[in-house]
Amino acid sequence: MVPRDAQFAHALAKVKPLLDSDAALTVLSQSDLVQALNIAAVCSLGLMKPDDAELYWRRLIDVQPEFTDAYKSLGILFRGLNRLQDAEAIYRRMLSVCPDHAEGLNNFGTVLFDLNRLPEAEAAYRAALTTRADFAEASHNLGKVLHAANRFGEAEEAYRKALQLEPNKVEIHIHLGNTLERLGRLAEADDAYQAALAVRFDVPEAHHNRAIVLKTLGRLPESEASYRRALAFRPDFPIARFSLASLLLSVGRYEEGWPLYEARYEQPGRIHHHSAAVLQCARWRGEPLAGKTLLVWQEDGLGDMIQFGRYLPVLKAQGVTRITLACAASLHRMFAGIDCVDEVTSHGEAALRSSTYDTWTSLTSVPAYLRTTLSTIPPALRLTPDPALVQHWAERLASLPRGRKIGVVWKGNPKHHNDANRSLPSLAALAPLWSVPGLSFVSLQKGQGEDDANAPPVGQPLLHLGSDVKDFADTCAIVAQLDLLVCVDTSSAHLAASLGKRCWMLLPGHDADWRWMRERTDSPWYPESLRLFRQARGEHWDAVIERVRDALSALEF
């Protein structure tokens, strides 16, 4: 059998002399010239010569502008080369010649989707479906655009129409499952993933996505089995390893979970993957640190830095000569007061000097290399507030009536993937707490939610300090003077618990973070200071807040 490359080369050798001749237009009929140019383009592409393929297809279009396959081929070529503007231009030119070309409209929509121009992509897909109502691919693509626009009900409708036309298309079942997840219809999402697996059982994405649903439904053994099936079919599937790690960590199987948690470095879309490319020194993987200089590089959230900051003295105790901490500016003043940290700097400055360090690590990687188990979690990093800042904020707190002071934070980072579930709808959700006698409330809210705090309902006993807080050193000085913090899952909880202050955290019923484990009301990370108030599946926040109110009423300070 002749190798395919040889077939391409042979065919190209036949037509190229004719096309290179100045007499090509006179020697060949138009139909023969069109055929020869198309053969030359296809063969050039097969021989990995995309520039030549482009030239031949462009010549073909000049010869016969209505030859739509040439436009389509160029558009596909440009998209594959990530030349999206060129792809858009060629499809526009094609549609000016043949405006009702269903495939052209569909491909045009896909390029617009790649360019994140969702309304235009939607219009292109709908035009394709107007031209050809039974175009399953266009209906599928329309579903993807609608899902990306958070129009999940319409996306479901588009996917179901596509499945009526192509019931054995695995990807459509998977995308329908994703949309049903976003609609909170988890049992139906599970059905969709199982339908995908009924068509083809060896699709790792379907096993992975089903595992996520099963985990959310609390069917943990089945979820673990699905993650492991995904990895059996694709061992190099880092997101599945990372997802499995989160499940294992959430049930306390730290010995298995921590090594898998390192898979975040293998995912190109994550900041962790970028760190390894930016830093010009070796990444620490558990080697002896005596006599070494260590760069500790923040990759994760602000709360992660406080929670895993407990490993800084552990690393220092291994004989590190100098620890430099590169982190967000809002953490600088607070971490500068930690004895085991020799220097606190910015990411930019640390990256420029990274070659001068012996090794670097992220704090969230340290448990893997120290083999942390539930029984060997180090004590929380004890934070010490700046006395001058304590005095400054004491003057503001003095305006409150005598009695216990309760801090509140009701919203977290709006960019967090689970913010819609873990943040409260508004400050008003906490209103039942105001009825507990003898308490004053202090708002530490920053960012989203500040507007609520700046204009609280009439009669709401709230001192809002969050808008005036510059960084975590300020927050630390305020929380040190409170009696209790009531908050959602955000960095303030880690700060309060690390200060040894009583902290009550409200946890969502959907996708609570692995670190808070499952069903527990306490935390091995903060055993003496943190209490968890969990939302039951399907429960509204008002029921959780009523339990907090009852606990406040019964609390003895």
- Distance, in Å, from the CA atom of 488 to the CA atom of 419, rounded to the nearest integer, reads 10
Distances (CA, A) of 203 to 200, 210, 409: 6, 11, 42
Give the rounded percent of residues in the chain with a pLDDT score beyond 90.
81
Other CB atoms closer than 10 Å to residue 231's CB: what's the count? Answer: 20
The encoded tokens of residue 319 equal 């004989």
- Distance, in Å, from the CA atom of 461 to the CA atom of 114, rounded to the nearest integer, reads 50
- Whole-number pLDDT of residue 38: 85
Q: Which of 316-320, 334-338, 537-541 has the lowest mean pLDDT?
A: 537-541
- Whole-number pLDDT of residue 495: 98
Q: Is the pLDDT of residue 25 over 70?
A: no
pLDDT average, residue stretch 403-414: 95
Q: Is the pLDDT of residue 24 over 70?
A: no
- Distance, in Å, from the CA atom of 515 to the CA atom of 307, rounded to the nearest integer, reads 10
DSSP three-state, residue 437: coil
The identity of residue 324, as a single letter, is T
pLDDT single digits (tens) 62-93: 889 999 999 999 999 999 999 999 999 999 99
What's 4-203's CATH class? Answer: mainly alpha
What confidence tier does 557 reach under pLDDT thresholds 50, 70, 90?
Answer: low
What confidence tier does 305 reach under pLDDT thresholds 50, 70, 90?
Answer: very high
What does pLDDT average to over the chain?
A: 94
CB 467 within 8 A of CB 454: yes
Q: Strands 359-361 and 293-297: what pairing?
A: parallel
User: Does residue 438 come out as left (phi exceeding 0), alpha (psi in the -120 to 50 range) or beta?
Assistant: left
Sequence spans of domains, the chain: 4-203, 279-376, 387-554
pLDDT average, residue stretch 53-67: 90
- Distance, in Å, from the CA atom of 110 to the CA atom of 117, rounded to the nearest integer, reads 10
Q: Which of 12-26, 143-157, 262-276 has the lowest mean pLDDT?
A: 12-26
Which CATH code fits 279-376? 3.40.50
Q: Is the pLDDT of residue 268 over 60?
A: yes
Which of 27, 89, 18 minimizes the C-alpha distance to 58? 89
Q: Let me know if the fold of 4-203 is the same as that of 387-554.
A: no
Which of 373, 421, 357 minimizes the C-alpha distance to 525? 373
Q: Strands 462-464 and 343-345: what pairing?
A: unpaired
Tell me how many degrees the CA angle 425-428-430 measures, rounded to the nearest 5: 95
DSSP three-state, residue 297: strand
- Whole-number pLDDT of residue 379: 97
Q: Is the pLDDT of residue 458 over 90?
A: no
- Whole-number pLDDT of residue 274: 86
- Whole-number pLDDT of residue 27: 64
The encoded tokens of residue 259 equal 């090594």
- Distance, in Å, from the CA atom of 324 to the CA atom of 344, rounded to the nearest integer, reads 6
- Whole-number pLDDT of residue 6: 83
pTM of the model: 0.89
What's 387-554's CATH class? Answer: alpha beta
Tokens 């955000």 appear where?
Answer: 490
